[in-house]
Amino acid sequence: MVVSAMTMVAEPSVEFDAQLIRKLSQSGPRYTSYPTADRFSDTFGYRDYLQAVAGLRTRGSRNPLSLYVHIPFCENICYYCACNKIVTKNRDKAGIYLSYLKHEIEMQGKLFDGMNQIEQLHLGGGTPTYISDAQMADLMTHLQRWFRFAGDEVGEYSIEVDPRTVSAERVASLRTQGFNRLSLGVQDFDPLVQRAVNRAQPEHLTLDIIKAARAQRYRSVSIDLIYGLPGQNVISMAQTLAKVIQAGPDRISLYNYAHLPHLFKPQRRILEAQLPGAEAKLDMLALAIRRLTDAGYVYIGMDHFALPTDDLAIAQQQGRLHRNFQGYSTHAESDMVSCGVSAISAVASTYSQNVKTLDAYYDAIDKNELPIVRGLRMNMDDVLRRLIIQRLMCNFELSIASIETAYPITFASYFEAELEGLHRLEQDGLVVIDDEWISVTMKGRLLIRNICMVFDRYLQSRPAEQRYSRTI
Ligand code: SF4
């Protein structure tokens, strides 16, 4: 089956080729970073991070920063969950966490003093709206005290919202506190699917929040969906998609559920017999692509769709799209400072990750140290490959001349083995290669991870099976 989907705008688009996907789908990283987080080492620590920030200062960096804040708490467990979260109904825990988080924010704020302009903020989790409205107001005031936020018309300030935890009043309050983008977790509107994953979320809750966000003039509302959940089929997916399209969010993320119960304990509660088979999943994906693009959504890449008027689609058309730990982003030049348990910062050519448990987090901050437990300092080869993977993921093409201009290499000889791998993918119709460009074809776009994996030096030493989700 081949479904060609052209949107209102001519580019970019995508072509679904089931046969090709069957042949080439494999386990692989999502490349929210390169090198990927599983390559970080505990030989990298707090002092290495301080050195990276000092390097920025020496170079007189004036790049705006991107800030990520992690709130790990959730009230209930969703069985498909693969996030780093703490499920508890004891709200006191959040109060203690926030006091430590504020201390970490203050430490980071002091460290970046004079180069602390923020153009992008994302609150993720867990469930950021687990904390109360008053706690959120206090947190935002604290962030604004230690960092200089660009105005609402420039900055992209987003928060992940679980519609089960907020009211229209809370949506209005979040807007006043400084947020201008909402990302709503939905996954599926079908009550049977919701029950199978322990996430009962009546449809009207989600629709009411979208309506409230429109009334409050949020610049963008995004919805997360998942295909491949227990009890899903093409019919239920069609119904959910119709409702989502009717609601008209600016962005839609459609994730492939990766059933990895050996890695994520909550997934052991999913009944495997209820999971749709590989062919049913492909049908659901084909249907989603057709319905979303017919409705005017642009395929951005990986799992993301956006209306042509959304900043993400505009940034892609203008070649300004970037990819970071939160997925696609419009702020290309930002260093990312991240606070909270398990959060990952990307400063200069380093990555650094915070400790994952509350106890370890509190211990480090009690010692007045940033709670960094591992990370990585990139060498030139890493930085070069990161750039190539970024360009392919965001623009679906790579100018060989631009790489040779930026780095002292001859592409054909430096990447001789990789070009051989790419030529094999060219025979399958995923890419077109000439002396100047590597261009991803319409049907290669859905398999972009396969193409990027060719440039992942670390995969050559350790294969991807078992640790990553499938590329489709
Ligand atoms: S999916 Fe989201 S809301 Fe559900 S348990 Fe995981 S982090 Fe919490």
Residue nearest ligand 1's atom 7 by CA = 126
Q: Which atom of ligand 1 is nearest to the CA of 125?
A: 7
- Alpha carbon of 74 to ligand 1 centroid (Å): 6
Task: Give the CATH number of the domain where residue 442 resides.
Answer: 1.10.10.920
User: Are 22 and 49 contained in the same domain?
Assistant: no
Domain that holds residue 217: 41-337
Asked if residue 86 has its Cβ within 6 Å of ligand 1, the reply is: no
User: Are 136 and 177 contained in the same domain?
Assistant: yes
Pairing, β 220-227 against β 181-187: parallel
pLDDT for position 330 = 83
- Alpha carbon of 409 to ligand 1 centroid (Å): 45
Asked whether the CA dihedral 181, 182, 183, 187 is positive or negative, the reply is: negative
User: Are 397 and 306 contained in the same domain?
Assistant: no
Asked if residue 82 has its Cβ within 6 Å of ligand 1, the reply is: no
User: Are 320 and 199 contained in the same domain?
Assistant: yes
- Alpha carbon of 240 to ligand 1 centroid (Å): 20
369 domain-assigned: no
- Alpha carbon of 391 to ligand 1 centroid (Å): 31
Asked if residue 74 has its Cβ within 6 Å of ligand 1, the reply is: yes
237 domain-assigned: yes
Q: What percentage of the chain has pLDDT greater than the value 90?
A: 86
Please, what are the averages of pLDDT over each run of 10 residues along the chain (472 residues)?
A: 42 81 89 93 96 93 92 97 93 97 98 94 96 98 97 96 96 98 96 96 96 96 97 96 97 94 95 94 95 95 93 90 83 87 96 97 97 97 96 94 96 97 96 96 94 94 63 64
Are 326 and 68 a contacting pair, CB within 8 Å? yes
Asked if residue 125 has its Cβ within 6 Å of ligand 1, the reply is: yes
Cα dist. 96→125, 208, 354, 404 in Å? 16, 32, 18, 51
Asked if residue 126 has its Cβ within 6 Å of ligand 1, the reply is: yes
pLDDT for position 62 = 82
Number of structural domains found in the chain: 2
Asked if residue 394 has its Cβ within 6 Å of ligand 1, the reply is: no
Are 312 and 120 a contacting pair, CB within 8 Å? no
Angle between the N-to-C axes of helices 168-177 and 203-215, in degrees from 0 to 180, rounded to the nearest 10: 40
457 domain-assigned: yes
Q: Which atom of ligand 1 is nearest to the CA of 80?
A: 1
Of 305, 337, 369, the residue that ends a domain is 337
Of 337, 368, 388, the residue that ends a domain is 337
Asked if residue 83 has its Cβ within 6 Å of ligand 1, the reply is: yes
Backbone angles phi, psi at 185, to 5 degrees: -80, 120
Pairing, β 350-354 against β 372-377: antiparallel
- Alpha carbon of 86 to ligand 1 centroid (Å): 9
User: Are 446 and 415 contained in the same domain?
Assistant: yes
Task: Tell me the pLDDT tens digit for each residue of 104-152.
Answer: 999 999 999 999 999 999 999 999 999 999 999 999 999 999 999 999 9
User: Are 329 and 454 contained in the same domain?
Assistant: no
Are 341 and 355 a contacting pair, CB within 8 Å? yes
pLDDT for position 94 = 97
256 domain-assigned: yes
